[in-house]
Amino acid sequence: MKPVFALVVLFLLGGQAQRLQDVPPQDRAAIQAIITAQIEAFKKDDAVRAFSFASPGIRQVFQTPERFIDMVRTGYAQIYRPLKVEFGPASRSLGTLQQIRQVVNLVGLDGKKAVAYYLMERQADGSWKIAGVQLELIPDDQTI
């Protein structure tokens, strides 16, 4: 039973590795440009511009640019004011061509490291919007 399980895991991991190559370069570039532009808006406290990169679902939840930037300021310091931003791999979400997960390695002004997992959502007009971010803080003794 264990060897079969291991083969299934290897098959799934192989499929996930294929998904990393599955993201076309033009989509990867567009997604990274959106994330970069939003981070630049945060750095300037431009709530309206930062909010413009959010998906309709995120916009509905927060309703105003001010509420949105307040949430980022208090809960996502490494994104709000990063010292360093480095893009990692991008992969498709299982079962859809309309969502991509982009990994971003960050260091905040306080020196704290984090990995941000951006969920990007393709809109009806073909553009990409940020549909969510999960932030994982990295212990000081680990590298990203």
CA–CA distance, 59 with 61 (Å, rounded to integer): 5
The contacts of residue 37 (CB under 8 Å, 6+ apart) are: 49, 53
Residue 14 pLDDT > 70: no
Q: pLDDT digit string (tens) for 27-80?
A: 999 999 999 999 999 999 999 999 999 999 999 999 999 999 999 999 999 999
pLDDT band at 96 (very low <50, low <70, confident <90, very high): low
pLDDT of amino acid 1: 41
Cβ atoms of residues 86 and 78 within 8 Å: no
Domains and CATH numbers, the chain: 20-138 (3.10.450.50)
Q: Which of 137, 135, 82 is nearest to 107 (CA)?
A: 82
